[in-house]
Structure 1
Amino acid sequence: MCTRFLWSSLGDPGKGNVLVGRSMDWYQDTATILAVRPRGKKRESIPSNPDDPGNFEWTSKYGSVVALMYGEAAVDGINEAGLQVSGLYLSESDYGERNTSRPGLELYLAIQCLLDRFDTVETAVEWVKASHVQLIEMKLGDKPGTGHLALADPSGDSAIIEFITGKPSVYHGREYTVMANSPLYPVQLKLQRRYEGLGGNQPLPGGVDSPDRFARAAYYSAQLPNTSDAREASAYVFSVIRNASAPFGTADEVRPNISTTRWRTVTDCTKRRYFFESTTSPNVVWIELSQLDFAPGSPELRLDLVNEPDHVGNVTDEFVAV
């Protein structure tokens, strides 16, 4: 239902511009808006049940730009340090029965928590492992919000985190550049080796199933030419993530886990530049984090691309306070 890949524009991890492309595939319109969130904001991990003994609080150390699905759930974003985090659907996710002896973190806030608190993939992964944090499922629209997380930073570091039987399975390293949906990550890595150019002899698949999209993202991102031009690098990443998308309107009623692509983002972790492209709009918009004021006390800013879909280009100055 979604695809993500990480690519460094001069070939070796962390060399040149480090970019992440992701698609958001979903069964209905996601009513996604963009938000700018400053430093110094206090949040709690289980606001719907603050009496839970595992509820904890934090104050944002880093400002961020996030995509809010249904105007509420942070599902993708980057912070001012260049840490990028994406959430993708995974039906096999199992967060386990709530164990109040563990810190609990509602799904809507998981990505925001990481962006608020950490500047590198390594420090975020260390916290996930050491804290034994437990994600708490929340509905996204009418469906369970069960997903896995992908993290990247300007060094080219990467991590994929899946929660199985309540515990995190972490795949941390610069080699973990691609993620899609089902099946679980180790199986995805095995399946991709069936195809030409990825270790096997089968033709590269053209379908919209998760292993097909995974294979195409892995294959085509490995074929991209080196470039030191940031604009060209972004165009390369857009070309691959569009290729790994599901054509608009092709949701499969027989296989409900196959959904149409609603939007795509390309994040330049090096330049701190965040691109957003809606399938229903011909325009690409982007935000320059270097031009934003994340100072504590600054208001949260939002850009409503749902009711105002005709924004285009650099929209950094077009956000409004809420």
Structure 2
Amino acid sequence: MCLRVLNNLNNDYPVTGRNMNWFRPIEANLFQFPKGLHKQGLSLAKASKLQLDPSMIFNWQSKFASVVTMMGDEEQGFATVDGMNAEGLVVNVLYDTPATYGKPNYQDKHSNISILRWPQYILDCFKNVTQVIKYAESNSLQLIREKIPEGAGAKELRQDKIHLAVSDAAGRSAVIEIKKGKLSVYAGKENQIVTNEPDYPTQLAILTYWQYLWGKTKPAIATPIFTAPGGISPTQSFERAAFYLTLSQAVENHDDVIAQTRAFMANGAIPFAFNPSQKQYATCTRWTNLAVHKAGQYSFINPLNMMPVWLRVSADIANCAKVKLISVNTELQIVDNHRELQGDMLSYLQPCKEPYKS
């Protein structure tokens, strides 16, 4: 499943990589958003379905410009799954099998926000990991469950179990999980790798075991074993990413850190059409994001389109715009990976409506 790696081996050049793994082909767009936008945490249609008065919906105004990857479409809805703001804060949204939400409380006015819009709120309103941690530890927002766009004309959408990984230009990191509707925060620069399961404390326990075998703990093993599991399970992806990150040296310049991080993500990727169980839809890495925190460069790498594309996020973004990077024709079952797109996407952006506008 999905994999996030924060490469902060050289704190002067932190880079966050993320593999987006998904069963079905799904539409993907790069959006850019300026600061100062007024947004709402729940669509009016969803509020009506829940019998919520519009006054119950959380609204906010964005403090920072951002560039984000959104999956989904007009029919199934959009979900912010990844992005970076103009301060260099990165949010990665991963599926989280152990997440539990508890019974929602819709009583408070101006407090309800969709789980799919919550990551955009984080990008819009916080400049670094320290601020996000402070918010999460005293969160008063009610996270509303909303199924995730599934892609390829799926009739039943996927259940909305997610957790967040945040990282910033100082190389700080935190993982935020939802347990019985409450936010649990795991903060520290050493929390570099995240995947879908098990819960994050167990992921860290697994990491301790492997770091002992690699000779990186005290007491140290007398004869380190430099090996790691293969396979595509979340745990195996976590262990393999930890293997390469733990035993790699810091590199000394911007370009080398990007290349190093891209290699980490490639080692954790699932090849297209790898299908050992012969299922109708097999999980594969649909794309990889690379966020270069200090340079403000946010990249999207589609393994079926060999050239990476990117946008730069800065405080002077003036308008809402997007570029479609993966298109899915559900009737004809045709996927267009837009191989004509290469490099900087600035000239390809098209003005668009803000999908979360209040």
| 1:304 aligned counterpart, secondary structure | strand
* CA distance in 1 between partners of 2:348 and 2:138 (Å): 40
The answer to whether the aligner puts 1:23 opposite 2:23 as a matched pair is: no
Q: Does 1:131 align with 2:139?
A: yes
Query: In 1, distance between residues paired with 2:162 and 2:254?
Result: 31
Which shifted more, 303-312 or 149-158? 303-312
C-alpha change, 1:187 and 1:96, in structure 2 (3 Å) is: same
% of aligned pairs identical?
28
Q: CA deviation at 1:46?
A: 2.0
Is structure 2 residue 98 aligned with structure 1 residue 96?
A: no
- Matches of 2:262 and 2:229 in 1, distance apart? 19
Pick closer, same or farther for the CA change 1:252–1:192 going to 2, 3 Å: farther
Which one is further off, 73-82 or 259-268?
259-268
Q: Which runs of 5+ in 2 are unaligned?
A: 151-156, 328-337, 353-358
CA distance in 2: counterparts of 1:51 and 1:252, whole angstroms: 48
**Aligned pairs (5 A) from 1:257-296:** 259-290=283-314, 293-295=316-318
2:35 equivalent to 1:39: yes
Is the Cα contact below 8 Å between 2:3 and 2:18 reproduced in 1? Answer: yes
Asked if residue 246 in structure 1 is aligned to residue 260 in structure 2, the reply is no
Match of 1:163 in 2: 178
Deviation at 1:252, TM superposition (A): 6.0
Q: Could you say if the C-alpha distance between residues 53 and 172 of structure 1 is closer, same or farther in structure 2, counting changes exceeding 3 Å?
A: farther
Normalization by structure 2: what TM-score?
Answer: 0.82
* Cα distance in 2, alignment partners of residues 149 and 255 from structure 1: 29
Corresponding pairs, count:
314
TM superposition score normalised by structure 1: 0.90
CA RMSD of aligned residues (A): 2.3
Counterpart code for 2:182: K
Residue 353 (structure 2) pairs with residue 318 (structure 1): no
Deviation at 1:53, TM superposition (A): 6.1
CA change 1:256–1:245 in 2 (3 A) is: farther
Q: Can you list the C-alpha shifts for 1:272-310, whole angstroms capped at 9, x where unaligned?
A: 1111111221111111224x7424xx2x11011124342
- Which residues of structure 1 form unaligned runs of 5+? none
Distance (Å, rounded) in 2 between the aligned partners of 1:284 and 1:269: 17
* Corresponding position: 1:84 with 2:83: no
Deviations 1:32-59 (A, max 9, x none): 1110011111111122216266521100
The amino acid of 1:26's aligned partner reads W
The CA distance in 2 between the partners of 1:257 and 1:148, in whole Å, is 24
